[in-house]
Amino acid sequence: MMQDIEKEPEVAGIFSQYFEEASFPAATIIGVADLPIIEGKQALVSMEAFVALP
Amino acid sequence: MKEVSRPGQESYFELLLSAILIGVTCMWLGSCFVIHDAYYVDRQVYYTQNPFSPNATGTDYISKAFRSVAFVSAQLPLNATDRSVMEDLHNQTNQTLINLKRAVTNAGGFMRNVLKVTVYLLVQLVDDAGYRERA
């Protein structure tokens, strides 16, 4: 399941705090069945990114 | 009267030619090695160790850099200070972005240079009607 991040306003809203509007990256959300359990708590979100290095 | 060369006189010329040929060959080979080395260096993948990655992920590295592009992976909502994890999606997203920003910086980049982000959400959250209404 893949969708545009703007369809998830809660995540997109937090994104806008970390990325300037002019350099907002392409972002997709993928629904996955499982994520790691850390310190006994379920991780609800995980991220990965491609970065252009200067 | 035909000049008779002394024995070994031609060999000087041949030696000179040979030396030139060997020199040119060495230069060519050297340039090949240099190109090969440069090619190899460009092909190298650089890893950045992740000091914050929890063992649960089985991931020891947060980023791989190829030439001028780094791939930052396995960013989780783990607080690096006290290794705590928040319960709700809002705080977990915030913490994950903090970790992502740190990883990007460690890889030598800036958030403004992030090209693409993939967010993995538990499928229950994406499908959850209540979550949709709240959002």
- Residue B59 is predicted with a pLDDT of 40
What's the domain count of chain A? 1
* pLDDT above 70: percentage of residues in chain A: 93
Question: Which ipTM did the prediction report?
Answer: 0.88
The one-letter code for the residue type at B10 is E
Q: Are residues B37 and B52 in the same domain?
A: no
Q: What is the pTM of this model?
A: 0.62
Instruction: Say yes or no for a CB contact (<8 Å) between B89 and A35.
Output: no
A47, part of any domain: no
Interface test with A, best of B96, B106, B114 (most A CBs within 10 A): B114
Number of domains in chain B: 2
Alpha carbon B32 to its chain's center: 24
Contacts of B87 (CB under 8 A, 6+ apart): A41
Residues 6 or more apart whose Cβ sits within 8 Å of residue B65: A53, B45, B46, B47, B48, B71, B107, B108
Same domain, B24 and B53: no
Q: Among A5, A27, A46, whose Cβ lies nearest the Cβ of B96?
A: A46
Does residue B130 share a domain with residue B71? yes
**Is B91 an 8 Å CB contact of chain A?**
no
Per-residue pLDDT reduced to its tens digit, A7-24 = 777 777 888 888 888 888
Distances (CA, A) of A50 to A35, B14, B56, B67: 20, 59, 23, 12
CATH code (residue B72): 3.30.1330.40
Structural domain boundaries enclosing B21:
1-43
